[in-house]
Structure 1
Amino acid sequence: MTDFSSVEGKVAIVTGAADGLGKAIALCYAENGMKVIVSDINADKGLGVVQDIITGGGEAVFFKTDVSLEEDVRGLIDFAVTTYGRLDGIVNNAGISADSRPIHEYSIEEFDKITAIDLKGVFMGMKFGIEAILKSKSPGGFVINVASLAGIMGNSAMAIYTSSKHGVVGLTKSAALDYAAYNITVNAICPGTIRTSIWRDAPEEVVQQYANILSPNGRLGDPKEVAHVALFLASDLARYISGSAIPVDAGAHVGKVTPTKWSHPEILN
């Protein structure tokens, strides 16, 4: 059995943790003995996650944060250090998507809004989070940026979101080099299509249609599958991994599955 005991007692912030991937990561961290600062702009849902963690025997606190605002991100980091005396890691997960349309149909305001959260928000989380990790002299400091498959591939009609996520991967790679000598690992997770709450009300046949198109193995990912990667990257098992952009996508990033008797026997046999 894989030993993740090295994460026990570590203090970590997870942004965008009221739902979806962030919630799954926060719960996974707490289940493995980490002290979690649950951060989100939605206080009701965020406090609900904290209550779930405490009910399950874990330790967590909540801090309301709009990651596009410098004062909020500074306040989040200060709150974590004041509460627990140090910071070992931060998961920059908060983000928004955009309506699908070609570049010429986007407004400047849409560009500013999306990049303020998806790129600038990650930059500020890294900047102020790393400052605190350095001051804490954590022996196993880590930064995890939740990017997207869109951070390593092009996507039609998604230029702003895609460029923001490419920027997150770029920040990850540069920071990995900047802080390698300080024993801080910096990695990105690039999820494919994951079955988060946006799929909750979708008919099962619609979900399956999308899964058949978007995922080589014909199913959507589970948030826990992303959380397990985040747990690994926070542990001592991953101390020699830094600067990586890790796809969690059933192989979607490597290409399309061409229907054959081998890959689609139910269709072609």
Structure 2
Amino acid sequence: MSRTAIVTGASSGIGRESAIALAQAGWNVVITARRADALEETKSMCAVEDERVLVLSGNITDEDFVKKLFEESVKQFGRIDLLFNNAGVNAPATPLEDLSLATFQNVLSVNLVGPFLCAREAFRVFKSQTPQGGRIVNNGSISAHTPRPLSAPYTASKHGITGLSKCIALDGRAFGITCTTLDIGNAATVLTKRMQAGVLQPDGKLMAEPTFDAAQVGAALVYLGGLPPDVSVPHFTIMAHNMPFAGRG
């Protein structure tokens, strides 16, 4: 029986690499993000039959769109086995007293409300399908354990993801639903190019930080998705070797 995964934020970076990895491992893949043209690029890079990759562009903070996303996925492939809540945003490093409410709320909306909406719809599908169950992987962050300076919106959202994941795992236990928080540190994407020039450290210094190939996150997702349903991985951390983590220095 073929397996189906939904990957949010699949227009670039970690989401794109994850979609490619899953497709090439034999999964049907539903890819979503706001930019339809970039999603079509991701689809072509999957290099599999067209009918195995469904493109649905939209905003995961839009409740109606998220419902449509899951309805269309089930209509196309019959069931859903894996949800990767990957879509997310950051905010510029800003002193707390200068941080606008709009910025704070936008980061929480995309990074936490969006995953909640997707997880809720996944629960509805997972509980109703036969065989029952499925796996949710939430993109967390090293910042959920040790924050960077001036990162209140992002860090708060990723702490929220940790709590959401624990509740998903607990509430889904009786229905064959597992949940993993996938904490990622310095996967090389467009967003991490600034790390080559220097990232603010707790002591006030700027320091270049190592990164690692984002394709390795895709490999991790294939591993998690391939586990038997009676195996759960509550927490999975993948990061660049030698990046500042413990103590952030």
Shorter-chain TM-score range: 0.7 to 0.9
Shift of 1:150: 1.2
After superposition, the C-alpha distances for 1:186-227 in whole angstroms (9 at most, x for unaligned) are: 001111111112356x7xxx72766x9465xxx311111111
CA contact (8 A) 2:134 2:229 kept: no
Secondary structure in structure 1 of the residue aligned to 2:245: helix
When normalised by structure 2's length, the TM-score is: 0.88
Corresponding position of 2:246: 254
Corresponding position of 1:178: 171
Aligned 1:1-269 pairs, distance under 5 A? 9-53=2-46, 55-57=47-49, 59-138=52-131, 141-199=134-192, 207=196, 213=207, 219-236=210-227, 239-250=230-241, 252-255=244-247
AA in 1 matched with 2:129: S
AA in 2 matched with 1:164: S
Q: 1:174 and 1:214, CA in 2 relative to 1: closer, same or farther beyond 3 A?
A: farther
Of structures 1 and 2, the larger Rg is shown by: 1
Shift of 1:155: 2.2
AA in 1 matched with 2:159: H
AA in 1 matched with 2:184: P
C-alpha distance in structure 2 between counterparts of 1:84 and 1:119, whole Å: 27
Give the alignment's Cα RMSD to 1 decimal: 2.3
Aligned residues, how many? 241
C-alpha distance in structure 2 between counterparts of 1:245 and 1:236, whole Å: 13
Q: 1:214 and 1:165, CA in 2 relative to 1: closer, same or farther beyond 3 A?
A: farther
After superposition, the C-alpha distances for 1:8-51 in whole angstroms (9 at most, x for unaligned) are: 72111000001000000000000000000011111000011112
Moved over 6 A (4+): none
Choose between structure 1 and 2: higher strand proportion.
Answer: 2
Secondary structure in structure 2 of the residue aligned to 1:18: coil
* Matched-pair identity in %: 24
Secondary structure in structure 1 of the residue aligned to 2:93: coil
C-alpha distance in structure 2 between counterparts of 1:123 and 1:243, whole Å: 17
CA contact (8 A) 1:232 1:238 kept: no
C-alpha distance in structure 2 between counterparts of 1:56 and 1:83, whole Å: 16
Q: 1:128 and 1:244, CA in 2 relative to 1: closer, same or farther beyond 3 A?
A: same
Structure 2 residues without counterparts, runs of 5 or longer: 200-205
Shift of 1:238: 7.6
When normalised by structure 1's length, the TM-score is: 0.82
C-alpha distance in structure 1 between counterparts of 2:66 and 2:110, whole Å: 11
Secondary structure in structure 2 of the residue aligned to 1:91: strand
